[in-house]
Structure 1
Amino acid sequence: MGRAYDLFRRWQRDGTWQRIFTQLQARADAKDLITWDLNIDSTVCRAHQHAAGARKRGSCKRSRPAASPSSPTTTASGARAAA
């Protein structure tokens, strides 16, 4: 089995398979056995990195609203502290 694979790889490297394919394709084209349909599309569609589930760079910080200085402060027991 190693010998068959070695031969396959050698033919792949030296272009034998490509030449065989090109010849078969040329013969089939000459006999009108190939229908050539071309479709050229230059559309580029890109999603934002976060739309694809990528993580944001930097540390993961949750945005919390800043406490305004005029708002009353609550202690651990829930009672309001004197300002």
Structure 2
Amino acid sequence: MTKDDILLAISGSGNFKNIIEAVKEAQKVGAKIVGMTGYSGGKLYKMSDDNMQAPINDMQIAEDIHLTFNHMMMSIFHRIVVNKK
């Protein structure tokens, strides 16, 4: 991981210990942090440079919304890659 990288950190509660530790390591090198959270966002929301939050107090629904975020990101990445050819 370098300062030019982006870490997409996903945690429904925003407080999963391993995710928080990964974010701390990425911050040490100056990488950009994008958090994907549910509920109030927890620690991850506060530590992230940008957030994709599903502000709902239901883990199942938050994870479903995260899947939607993932599909939207892949659609955007696909368009960028296809348009470069």
Q: Which bin holds the TM-score, normalised by the shorter protein?
A: under 0.3
**Which of the two has greater strand per residue?**
2
Q: TM-score, normalised by structure 1?
A: 0.28
Q: Compare CA radii of gyration and give the structure with the larger one.
A: 1
Q: TM-score, normalised by structure 2?
A: 0.27
**Which of the two has greater helix per residue?**
2
